[in-house]
Amino acid sequence: MELSIVHSRALVGLSAPPVRVETHLSNGLPAFHIVGMPETAVRESKDRVRSAILNSHFEFPDRRITVNLAPADLPKEGGRFDLPIALGILVASGQLPGDKLDHCECLGELALDGGLQPVTGIVCAALAASACNRPLIVPLSCAATASVVDDIALLGAPDLLTLCAHLNDSEPLPTFATSPAQPTANNTPDLAEVTGQEGARRALEIAASGGHNLLLTGPPGTGKTLLASRMPGILPPPDPQEALVILALRDFCGLAKPGESAQRPFRSPHHSASAAALIGGGGNPQPGEVSLAHGGVLFLDELPEFSRHSLDMLREPMESGQVTLARARHRVSYPSSFQLVAAMNPCPCGYLGDPEHPCCCSPEQIQRYAGRISGPLLDRIDLHVPVTRLPPAQLLRRGGRGESSATIRQRVSACRARQLHRQHCVNARLSNDQLLEISQLHEGPRALLEAAAGQLKLSGRGLHRTLRVALTLADMEGSSHIQEAHIAEALAYRAA
């Protein structure tokens, strides 16, 4: 046989479109050509494939070799096509039977000695292969990561020679057992370690219960970062579908570890991060921090220190829960349903309003500092919470700490379960029509909200976000209707 076809998968965003690796051997001067829009790493695979075949004790054909990666208009990148190219050459040259590869897919990068190296996007490829009911052959080092996909026949091979022995029926490889992703609660520091700050602790629980965005404002050293880092610990574990998407995003960026459990992510980029690092980008668009925080928390410390351009690019994913990156030859979408938790000082020196430290900033400096954050972005943050300085005696006193993260997480999980049963999403993700239909305000709460909205000059978005927080407060108390107390507390967070 001088022509062979091996099935593989490319990686475009979080999708894994099929690729046919067609190999043809013909007479003529020895040559090795790869066509089908291969980028540099794919073109270089011919040197890796040649060395891997020779070092695996096979014969490299001394003929004209043409490898076509179809479809031709789909860009191919990375070393994931090394293994199917090598197998295609061996089948086309008659050194392997071709029938064993007709109904399976494979991908993997080859080392020069024939060993199989891990590749990214293995979870996406496993999902696509499972949907087509095809077995998937991957490097053994990737098999544990791919095994989180249920209902897939998975083979993990350590090297090319071992895989060829399996295909020749001389030493069959065992099917790798799948183990669906097990969502677990985050192993993060306990909220009980935070002394005092009852108001901020209450706001954390509200934000976790309804999926709301949160801004902590206060002088330096008052515990804003400490509080924010405890947020993942009070969030309930992700459901199995969320867990799979979270692991797929981590695997896409090469961050997944074999056998790791699925936890809600906590991403904390430095304020020097570019807009592309936050949102995603590049010639072949890669996910940014907002996508890596999908299903979890994006923490922005020292919020005004981020560039205003970068912060304003957060507005769309905060509303839609996804990021669409369009380039000349690419258009991909990544999920980005995250909770924003931000922290900032009230002024450049940090001591505006602090009774113990006088502020040394001029009104112009304070105004310029506050102006680094646009009004539309602040309007999308549901809870604005001041964090005040605690007296030294309280900080040095042992005991007297608040509830643990585990205790709060139980209440948060119960509150979210109530929301998911009612509307299949958390309150922060309700559309305006759904919100008005579910809230059903009585005359007293409605009058209070209307009066306060006029007095505080709330925008339409601010009004609806206040109502969403009030609905979360009602859910936390198990109330079937929003009461005036819920409206008043929600307005207090909006006016802070």
Domain residue ranges of the chain, discontinuous segments joined by +: 3-176, 191-397
Please choose, from the candidates 211, 262, 230, 266, the residue with its C-alpha nearest in 3D space to the C-alpha of residue 406: 230
- How confident is the model at residue 279, as a pLDDT? 93
Sign of CA dihedral 30, 105, 183, 300: positive
d(CA 110, CA 45): 8
Q: How is 217-258 classified by DSSP, letter by letter?
A: E-STTSSHHHHHHTHHHHSPPPPHHHHHHHHHHHHHTT---T
Backbone torsions φ then ψ of 240, nearest 5 degrees: -55, -40
Tell me which residues of the chain have a pLDDT lower than 50: none
Q: What is the pTM of this model?
A: 0.89
- How confident is the model at residue 197, as a pLDDT? 82
Q: Angle at Cα 126 formed by Cα 122 and Cα 127, nearest 5°?
A: 120
Q: Are 474 and 419 in contact (CB under 8 A)?
A: no
Helix or strand holding residue 156 (H, E):
strand 154-157
Please choose, from the candidates 37, 136, 23, 186, the residue with its C-alpha nearest in 3D space to the C-alpha of residue 89: 23
**Interstrand relation of 214-217 and 18-26 (parallel, antiparallel or unpaired):** unpaired
- How confident is the model at residue 73, as a pLDDT? 87
In the structure encoding, which two tokens stand for residue 201, read together? 């602790």
d(CA 151, CA 14): 19
- How confident is the model at residue 408, as a pLDDT? 93
- How confident is the model at residue 495, as a pLDDT? 63
CATH architecture group of domain 191-397: 3-Layer(aba) Sandwich (3.40)
Please choose, from the candidates 338, 277, 273, 334, the residue with its C-alpha nearest in 3D space to the C-alpha of residue 302: 273
- How confident is the model at residue 163, as a pLDDT? 93
**Which amino acid is residue 338, in one-letter code?**
F
**Which amino acid is residue 19, in one-letter code?**
V
Cβ contacts of residue 108 below 8 Å, gap of 6+? 80, 82, 83, 116, 117, 118, 119, 137, 138, 139, 142, 157
Q: Are 182 and 148 in contact (CB under 8 A)?
A: no
Backbone torsions φ then ψ of 326, nearest 5 degrees: -110, 130
Please choose, from the candidates 276, 279, 273, the residue with its C-alpha nearest in 3D space to the C-alpha of residue 291: 279
d(CA 174, CA 168): 14
In the structure encoding, which two tokens stand for residue 478, read together? 């198990």
CATH architecture group of domain 3-176: 2-Layer Sandwich (3.30)
